[in-house]
Structure 1
Amino acid sequence: MAELLLLVAVAWVLLLAGHGTNAARVKVPGSKVGPIMVSPRLLDQVSPLDDAGSGSVTQYLAKQVTRPGATKEGYYGFIATMDVYGFNLSSNQLSTGAILLYDQGDGATASLNVLHVGWEVAPGWYGDSLTHLGVGWTTDGYQKTGCPNPSCTRDFIPEQGAPIAAGGVIETVSQLNGPKQYITIKIIKDGIMGDWMVYYGLNQDKLALIGRFPKTLFTGGLANRAADIQVGGHVLTSMNNLAPMGSGYLPIFNAMSSASMSNVQFIDQNGHALPMNQISLTYITDSNIYAVGPIVNGQFFYGGPFQLST
């Protein structure tokens, strides 16, 4: 479990704290391709699990990310409704759809603040291939602070009577070309205590408060607001046994086969929910394997690596 956490942490640090002319390239919807602050080392990241004889393991991401400097005020929350899927993965694989709020601080890894919430299938953490509600955080780029599930229960304060706990199993998942099951996640900064409140709803259920990240967890920007946001898919996989992202199918055919995130909105300092499409960039590690589409009417499709026959 520690090795899996290390690998995922390294990937997020490289994505969030990349720099300079080595930035990877991303597509801005409706514009030319341009650079974003992402390290290209992410594209060839090799797992420390190799030392245990597990073979080469690589990170892949397909996400919408906020445009650097899009707002000086920062972000005070986020809302997204995401299809939920289940897979039979090996212990060195991971598949997740999640929201990340973060602040890079002064640019040093040790000042990187992150919190994330979403669904995940991670046998290396849980010991099973069930779909879980994942939460996590760090204040130093995962050097000494932070946690994945199920260990985050000591830091993420649960709400009494909540319909699900951090790390809990999401028992109802989508079926390919069948009924879609989805969860809505809302993260919002409390205006009085300053905690990051997390709300959850399954399908048509009313959103319910399930817990909070205390303001006191964070030493940097996240104590006050987030500087940037990511939302989308993330997998850990070997090349000879590609892990599914989203539904497992590329978002190039129809809505029934592709995973989506909808009602995608950020929350401003006044508590207003606003569309993300005008401030977002599309980040894809390798579009030949996994992909993400632009935000249209508050929704985008993502996933891979498989294609349905036509």
Structure 2
Amino acid sequence: MFNFEAHSKKDRKPITQLWQLNGECPDATIPIRRTKREDSMRKNTIKKYGTKKFNIIPYPSLPDIKFANQVGLEHVIAFVEDKFYGAKGTINVWKPQIQIQDECSLSGIWLLGGSDTGLNSIQAGWMVYPKLFGDNNTRFFIYWTRDGYNSTGCYNLQCSGFVQVTKQMALGAAIKPISIYHGSQSDFTLTVWKDERQKVWWLRFQDTIIGYWPTSIFTYLGDRASVVEWGGLVTNTNLNGQHTTTQMGSGHFAEEWFRGASYFRNLEIIEQTSNIRSANGLGNVVDKPKCYNLKFGNSEDWGNFFYYGGPGKNPNCP
């Protein structure tokens, strides 16, 4: 049975970033994560620094399914397909353990259009990626591409494209608090929507508008999205034929429910009329169910939701 326990107010703690302990930015400026010497050194080991080292090729309706599992990518994703002009969801925040520096664990929302090398994608959420950021902190991130993650797009503000308008949040900065296993839970709500008049895709974190992607940087997403995804992704190096212990979400399977597993709740999509409705008819993709899994649910407080995650290597996932 699903645990429909509501996310109580006493559990809720506002999401902050560590840099905010030092104050705030002056008006007419934005916070930018400082590039340290170690970051510059990593430029030599990360191809096209600031862009994806790995290709995240989503599943639904794409003609070339052969892309789905390349480079050790493992997805746990809920999705819907249609014509969309935005999406919304509340994401549970954790700090998954990463076995190898090259590996990554992330949770987020994707808006997609096109396919194969012409795939357009907008993504936002949280991630732990030691090779890119130099540590194991959980960080808020965004990403975009218009050619299937080949040569366009980047993380955060590492290239032109996304325009930040707030001084309240820094892209790529560590966030807190982190959810506690069997303790207090932390989550945040993301909304991405298209402004037809201004011809941009806006991004909102909780009640703060972070910035926008101009539709001019896209091809298919210049019009609309055809797929929305919510979920998690890890990279698995597969050492000596063994799965690594890199975790997804909380590092625990969906059957551990609230306070144990990770979750996405109140999954919604935005129609051309700006009408927001529940994301019904959800499909799912779970690459390695013995390593990471997903369980759907629905309740009055959480709408359509799912629990997900897992530990990676375990007796059933050698």
2:91 corresponds to 1:82:
yes
Q: Which among 57, 60, 68 is matched to residue 74 of structure 2?
A: 60
**How many residues in Structure 1 have an aligned counterpart in Structure 2?**
259
Q: Which among 262, 265, 289 is matched to residue 265 of structure 2?
A: 262
Code of the residue aligned with 2:292 in structure 1: it is Y
Q: Which among 110, 117, 131 is matched to residue 138 of structure 2?
A: 131
1:211 maps to what in 2?
Answer: 211
User: What TM-score do the two structures reach when normalised by structure 1?
Assistant: 0.77
2:290 maps to what in 1?
Answer: 288
2:280 maps to what in 1?
Answer: 277
Change (3 A) 1:178 1:305: same
2:93 & 2:162 partners in 1: Cα distance?
Answer: 22
Structure 1 segments unaligned to the other structure (5+ residues)? 20-37, 47-57, 202-206
2:203 maps to what in 1?
Answer: 198
User: What TM-score do the two structures reach when normalised by structure 2?
Assistant: 0.75
Contact 1:197-1:209 at 8 Å conserved across structures: yes
Code of the residue aligned with 2:212 in structure 1: it is R
2:272 corresponds to 1:228:
no
Contact 1:99-1:231 at 8 Å conserved across structures: yes
Structure 2 segments unaligned to the other structure (5+ residues)? 1-45
2:85 & 2:66 partners in 1: Cα distance?
Answer: 29
How large is the RMSD of aligned CA atoms in angstroms?
A: 2.3
2:57 maps to what in 1?
Answer: 13
1:155-175 deviations in whole A, cap 9, x for unaligned? Answer: 2111132x2122122132111
**How far off is 1:100 after superposition?**
0.5
| Identity percentage of aligned residues | 24
1:232 & 1:307 partners in 2: Cα distance?
Answer: 19
Q: Which among 175, 181, 192 is matched to residue 176 of structure 1?
A: 181
1:14 & 1:77 partners in 2: Cα distance?
Answer: 17
2:291 & 2:129 partners in 1: Cα distance?
Answer: 20
1:257 match: secondary structure = coil
Change (3 A) 1:41 1:144: closer
Change (3 A) 1:242 1:306: closer
**How far off is 1:15 after superposition?**
3.5
What does 1:104-183 correspond to in 2, within 5 Å? 104=114, 107=115, 109-149=116-156, 151-152=158-159, 154-161=160-167, 163-183=168-188
2:97 & 2:292 partners in 1: Cα distance?
Answer: 18
1:25 maps to what in 2?
Answer: none
Stretch deviating more after TM superposition (299-308 or 280-289): 299-308
